[in-house]
């Protein structure tokens, strides 16, 4: 379960691992050296293995699924794989719909993030009865890894604005088990030191009932640090106060999420959490509105409901399909700490030519009642509210609208053979995509008018995306914003 769209502008979100390049490169290098990989949904979407030629299936004949055989699942339990299939034993299916159902099943199985490769095919035909085989190659699930990463929002901010300071590095140990009992459940234990001292424990169980529709996620985080982002300048830069002799911020959070997935495409989440956050009195002198009621201590309960609809070939780097999300979030239950936020987001990927596709993303959010505390203002520069070319800026506000338009073209693929013999991890595939893009955004703020507040923000550029194993996506982008500021920006994300 991802954090709620209302981001607290403190260290806990600066620690977000989706944009931390050094850590991802370290993890990927580790995997490349020891394991390698074979397969990627985005690399394999154009083929589905079929034993028994597909042209032999008559389009006007209705077939019965006689059985589904799972092969290669050493750890993952069979019902977790069968949950993602587009059909089940006993179903009837026409010959004309068979190929699309095989492809869809393959994509859904891969999107569990449990496998480096999968194939779904007809292994036997007996008259009008079909027998399906699902061949999977499991990922490595256990990763006791050294943790080394910068704390800033993105690589460019750390490298340029913070002069790649080693003081802004976190180090420690991350123990990750991504398939703890074979139910696609995840166990995370983080022990972090350096810029931030942090302990995080989290367990995610996506299915806890027999019908595989209900799940849960529970987590605990405690952290403290010597530096605080206490405000935003008139030029939309983060303002920091550093005091090395003592810790000037601490943060404790406990959260619980109940999930409901009635079918393959719909997911609902109900989330409740308790947060206790403290900053030193010095921070209030720098920004009296850091917390509500001019206090240096905030503790509150928050609630959230999130509805998500998935219909994409590969969730981490889709090349076709669409995605929709809506949420409502409530922070606090008293008048001293009271905020609502609602929002929607959508992604639509439309092929234009044989390989070229258009990716459109749109989002909108509104916070109310109006609140000028720093705790409530974070918006652009956090989570998915990012404009390419605006990596050096944050824009605070109570409302926002975002639009992203990307034209993408695959240019070539490369498969690196693993020199170490492995049954399941024999190859490392790479796909390369050229792209051009333009982003629009608006951030409304009734309390301030900075360089980028209350105006239409506009950026554009071109770049190269590299997609590989373990949901690894590397983005190399040259972007320009409306003020003519330009530069090369690097971003990395993965499933870790």
User: According to the model, what pLDDT value does residue 293 have?
Assistant: 77
* pTM of the entire predicted model: 0.81
Three-class secondary structure assignment of the chain: CCCCCCCCCCHHHHCCHHHCHHHHHHHHHHHHHHCCCCCCHHHHCCCCCCCCCHHHCCCCCEEEEEEEEEECCCCCCHHHHHCCCCCCCCCEEEHHHHHHHHHHHHHHHHCCCCEEEEEEEEEEEECCEEEEEEEEEECCCEEEEEEEEECCCCHHHHHHHCCCCHHHEEEEEEEEECCCCCCCCEEEEEEEEECEEEEEEEEEECCCCCCCCEEEEEEEEEEEECEEEEEECCCCCEEEEECCCCCCEEEEEEEEEEEECCCCCEEEEEEEEEEEEEECHHHHHHCCCCCHHHCCEEEEEEEEEEEEEEEECCCCCCCCEEEEEEEEEEEEEECCEEEEEEEEEEEEEEECCCCCEEEEEEEEEEEECCCCCHHHHCCECECCECCCCCCCCCECCCEEEEEEEEEEEEEEEEEEECCCCCCCCCEEEEEEEEEEEEEEEEEECCCCCCCCCCCEEEEEEEEEEEEECCCEEEEEEEEEECCCCEEEEEEEECCC
Whether residue 487 contacts residue 479, with contact meaning beta carbons closer than 8 Å, is answered with yes
Shortest CA distance to 380 belongs to which of 458, 485, 302?
458
User: According to the model, what pLDDT value does residue 250 have?
Assistant: 96
User: According to the model, what pLDDT value does residue 38 have?
Assistant: 31
User: According to the model, what pLDDT value does residue 335 have?
Assistant: 66
Shortest CA distance to 137 belongs to which of 51, 49, 212, 67?
49
User: According to the model, what pLDDT value does residue 424 have?
Assistant: 66
Shortest CA distance to 238 belongs to which of 226, 228, 248?
228
Residues of the chain with pLDDT under 70: 1-57, 335-336, 422, 424-425, 495-496
User: What pLDDT digit, counting tens, does each position of 268-301 carry?
Assistant: 999 999 999 999 999 999 999 999 878 899 999 9
Rounded CA-CA distance 290/282 in Å is 11
Structural domains of the chain ordered from first start:
11-28+140-493 (2.40.160.50), 36-138 (3.10.20.310)
User: According to the model, what pLDDT value does residue 331 have?
Assistant: 93
Rounded CA-CA distance 326/365 in Å is 10
User: According to the model, what pLDDT value does residue 259 have?
Assistant: 98
Distances in whole angstroms, Cα of residue 247 to Cα of each of 8, 96, 187, 223, 298: 19, 65, 29, 10, 17
User: According to the model, what pLDDT value does residue 52 have?
Assistant: 42
User: According to the model, what pLDDT value does residue 172 have?
Assistant: 85
Whether residue 218 contacts residue 203, with contact meaning beta carbons closer than 8 Å, is answered with yes
Q: Name residues whose C-beta falls within 8 Å of residue 187's C-beta, 6 or more positions apart in sequence.
A: 175, 176, 177, 180, 202, 203
User: According to the model, what pLDDT value does residue 93 have?
Assistant: 93
Pairing of strands 62-71, 129-138: parallel
User: According to the model, what pLDDT value does residue 495 have?
Assistant: 66
Portion of the chain with pLDDT greater than 90, in percent = 63
How many Cβ atoms are within 10 Å of 384's Cβ, its own excluded? 14
């Amino acid at each position: 379960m991802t954090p709620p769209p209302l981001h607290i502008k403190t260290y806990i979100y600066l620690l977000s691992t989706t944009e931390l390049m050094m850590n991802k490169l370290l993890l990927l290098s580790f995997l490349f050296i020891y394991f390698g990989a074979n397969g990627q949904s985005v690399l394999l979407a154009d083929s589905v293995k079929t034993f028994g030629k597909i042209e032999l299936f008559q389009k006007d004949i209705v077939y019965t699924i006689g059985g589904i055989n799972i092969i290669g699942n050493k750890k993952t339990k069979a019902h977790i794989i069968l949950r993602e299939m587009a059909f089940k034993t006993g179903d009837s299916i026409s010959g004309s719909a068979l190929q699309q159902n095989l492809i869809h099943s393959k994509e859904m199985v891969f999107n569990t993030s449990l496998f480096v490769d999968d194939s779904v095919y007809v292994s036997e035909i007996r008259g009008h009865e079909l027998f399906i085989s699902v061949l999977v190659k499991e990922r490595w699930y256990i990763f006791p890894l050294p943790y080394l990463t910068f704390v800033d929002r993105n690589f460019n901010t750390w490298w340029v604005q913070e002069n790649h300071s080693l003081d802004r590095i976190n180090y420690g140990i991350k123990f990750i088990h991504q398939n703890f009992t074979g139910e696609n459940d995840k166990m995370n234990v983080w022990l972090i030191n350096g810029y931030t001292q942090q302990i995080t424990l989290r367990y995610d169980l996506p299915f806890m009932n027999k019908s595989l529709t209900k799940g849960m996620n529970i987590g605990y985080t405690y952290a403290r640090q010597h530096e605080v982002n206490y405000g935003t300048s008139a030029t939309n830069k983060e303002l920091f106060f550093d005091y090395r002799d003592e810790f000037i911020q601490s943060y404790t959070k406990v959260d619980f999420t109940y999930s409901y997935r009635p079918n393959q495409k719909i997911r609902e989440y109900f989330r409740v959490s308790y947060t206790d956050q403290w900053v030193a009195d010095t921070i209030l002198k720098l920004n009296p509105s850091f917390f509500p009621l001019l206090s240096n201590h905030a503790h509150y309960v928050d609630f959230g409901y999130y509805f998500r609809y998935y219909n994409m070939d590969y969730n981490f780097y889709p090349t076709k399909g669409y995605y929709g999300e809506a949420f409502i979030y409530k922070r606090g239950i008293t008048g001293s700490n009271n905020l609502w936020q609602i929002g929607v987001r959508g992604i639509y990927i439309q092929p234009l030519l044989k390989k070229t596709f258009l990716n459109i993303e749109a989002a909108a959010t509104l916070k109310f009642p109006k609140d000028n505390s720093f705790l409530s203002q974070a918006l652009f520069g956090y989570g998915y509210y990012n404009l390419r070319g605006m990596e050096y800026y944050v824009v605070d506000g109570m409302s926002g609208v975002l639009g992203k338009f990307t034209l993408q073209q695959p240019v070539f693929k490369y498969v690196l053979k693993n020199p170490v013999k492995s049954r399941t991890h024999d190859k490392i595939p790479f796909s390369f995509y050229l792209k051009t893009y333009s982003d629009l955004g608006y951030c409304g703020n009734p309390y301030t008018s900075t360089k980028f507040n209350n105006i239409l923000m506009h950026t554009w550029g071109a770049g190269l995306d590299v997609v590989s194993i373990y949901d690894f996506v590397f983005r190399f982008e040259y972007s320009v914003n409306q003020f003519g500021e330009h530069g090369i920006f690097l971003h990395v994300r993965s499933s870790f």
